[in-house]
Structure 1
Amino acid sequence: MKPWRLAILLAGCAVAGVGAWWLATRGVAASPLMCGLNRWTGLHCPGCGMTRAAYSLLHGHPWQAFRFNPLGMVVLPLLGLMALPEIIGWVKNEPPKRWVRLNHRWAMVLVVAVIAFGILRNLPWAPFHWLAPTSLAK
């Protein structure tokens, strides 16, 4: 194990922890993260609602987080679990022991799902408008 790799990992965890603390204590309104697409066009990108979803998760409201961005709440934990062996292998300077192999077909499925989600959540009729992150704000 190379100590500098562990130091980089710990520094990344510390930055993520400070970001989570900032969001949990200051709230969504204090977040510098704003969606440019939504600001300029009024459309919701596939990531719109993720800051509010993270805030809801930090305050123990997983269903509300899911309502702000359902795709993000399903895909991001799975990608995190898939990245974990990569990170451990990188820190140990060993080849990763993967439990899931993400080949080009799965990558294309993910890309198509994200694009489809971005399109569907902007359609103005039910059930698609329920995918918009503002559905709980009303």
Structure 2
Amino acid sequence: SMAIMQLLPPQTSEIDPASELRFDGRDLLKLSPAELRRLRGKDIAMIFQEPMSSLNPVFSVGEQIVETLTLHAGLSRSAAWKRAVELLREVGLPEPEKRIKAYPHELSGGQQQRVMIAIAIACEPKLLIADEPTTALDVTIQK
């Protein structure tokens, strides 16, 4: 999944020059970094296995969702904030209006994972890559 998103460090990964990675009629391996960045988050999104290593501890979870929506969906800040609350509600985070202002360390592992899922589905991507997305969720929710 990291290879598809081209998130592996070039020093420790090698892609056979004959390889192709096709998505929506385009070879992802031939895209410029800017073109690939435009696809990530909007058309292709990923839910990482470990939310605490993916969420930025310096920003509230709301700011991190808003960033995705303003960059990739072109929403205004106020519209993105409103949509972020809706997304947190959609993924089952209790008290989304309150939790949106929380920092990652203030949430449980399961709540952090719900935030990661909210970020991943925010722009309604065509391809959603999930790396064990339910691992951090409690057993009842996993089912």
Structures share fold, TM-score greater than 0.5? no
Larger radius of gyration: 1
Question: What TM-score, normalized by structure 1, do the two folds share?
Answer: 0.26
Question: Greater helix share, 1 or 2?
Answer: 1
Question: Greater strand share, 1 or 2?
Answer: 2
